[in-house]
Amino acid sequence: MKTIIAACSQNLSGNRASVQTALRTLLAAPWPSQRNVRSWLQLLSVLQWVLSFLLLGTVSLLLLIYLVFTSFWPISALYLAWIIFDWDTPEKGGRRLPCLRRWPVWRHFRDYFPVKLVKTHDLSPSHNYIIGSHPHGILCVGAFCNFVTGSTGFGELFPGIRPFLTTLAGNFRLPVFREYLMSGGLCPVTRRAIGYLLSKNGTGNAVAIVIGGAAESLSCRPGVTTLILKNRKGFVRMALQHGAYLVPSFSFGENDLFRQVVFEEGSWMRSIQQRFQKTMGFAPCVFYGRGLTSVRSRGFLPYARPITTVVGEPVTVPKIEDPSCETVDMYHAMYVRSLLKLFNENKTKYGLSETDELHIL
What would the pLDDT profile of 70-108 be if each residue is shown by its tens digit? 999 999 999 999 999 999 999 998 998 888 888 999 999
What would the pLDDT profile of 197-246 be if each residue is shown by its tens digit? 998 878 999 999 999 987 787 676 666 788 999 999 999 999 999 999 99
CA 171 to chain centre: 13
**pLDDT tier, 9 (very low <50, low <70, confident <90, very high otherwise):** very low
What would the pLDDT profile of 38-59 be if each residue is shown by its tens digit? 889 999 999 999 999 889 999 9
pLDDT at 217: 74
**pLDDT tier, 11 (very low <50, low <70, confident <90, very high otherwise):** very low
Question: Rounded mean pLDDT of 306-319?
Answer: 96
Name the residue among 90, 279, 278, 95 with its Cα closest to residue 192: 90
114 preceded by a cis bond (ω within 30 of 0) = yes
Higher pLDDT, 272 or 344: 344
Amino acid residing at 280: M
Q: Answer yes or no: is pLDDT of 126 > 60.
A: yes
Q: Answer yes or no: is pLDDT of 134 > 80.
A: yes
